[in-house]
Amino acid sequence: MGRLIVTEFTSLDGVAQAPGAPEEDPEGGFEYGGWQAPLMNAEVGGLIYEQAKGMGALLLGRRTYDIFAAYWPEVPDEVDFSALLNRVPKYVASRTLKEPLSWQNSKVLGGGLAEGVAELKDRYERVHVIGSLDLVQSLLGQGLVDRLNLWVHPVVLGGGKRVFEGAAMPAAMRLAQSRTFENGIVQLEYELDGKPAVGDMTT
């Protein structure tokens, strides 16, 4: 059985909306699209690629798929991340998108979300999800995430779509690895570890 690994780029207050570009996702009047770009550097980009290069398949939500499909096929395969994303099998969780899809090696995820994810885990050792906030909300709500890879950036955005919006299934998490960078980014890898424990600090 494979594993589902979610990678999200967030602000200190948990906002993960539109990190890459101003017009990526202006829903709700979000004014800070592209907030991640000033903090990207070769060291950060290199580790993002190192973590991604072992993916067996990529699962995306509809909005993120459209953004990626419009961008990555145009980037030369001499760029390692482009070669990786263009090569791996890609699946889109969408009720409206129809095949055939324009981006090579792309398919619409079949069946319900839980059944589709289970089928991907049967076929691939590592299934990655990048961005795709609406999809991630559903994956967290159904307890389908095995590892959560958070890139926390030193910026507070005050509003916007967050990784955890209240629909996630309650879960304890075990910190598997962490890294810090000189520009203030902290990268945290969590494994889901059962249900939250409770206690009484007054005793």
pLDDT at 167 over 80: no
Q: CB of 190 within 8 A of CB of 150?
A: yes
Q: What number of other Cβ atoms are within 10 A of residue 141's Cβ?
A: 15
Torsion sign (Cα): 85, 82, 62, 16:
positive
pLDDT above 70 coverage of the chain, percent:
99
Which residues lie below 8 Å from residue 24, measured CB to CB, with a gap of 6+?
18, 33, 34, 67
Q: CB of 191 within 8 A of CB of 147?
A: yes
Whole-angstrom distance, CA of residue 160 vs CA of residue 42 = 27
DSSP conformational letter for 201: T
59 pLDDT band, cuts 50/70/90, is very high
Query: Could you tell me the pTM of the whole model?
Result: 0.93
| Chain centre distance of CA 36 | 14
Q: What number of other Cβ atoms are within 10 A of residue 15's Cβ?
A: 24
pLDDT above 90 coverage of the chain, percent:
84
Task: Please tell me the predicted confidence (pLDDT) of residue 166.
Answer: 67
36-59: average pLDDT: 94
pLDDT tens digits, 112-136? 999 999 999 999 999 999 999 999 9
28-55: average pLDDT: 94
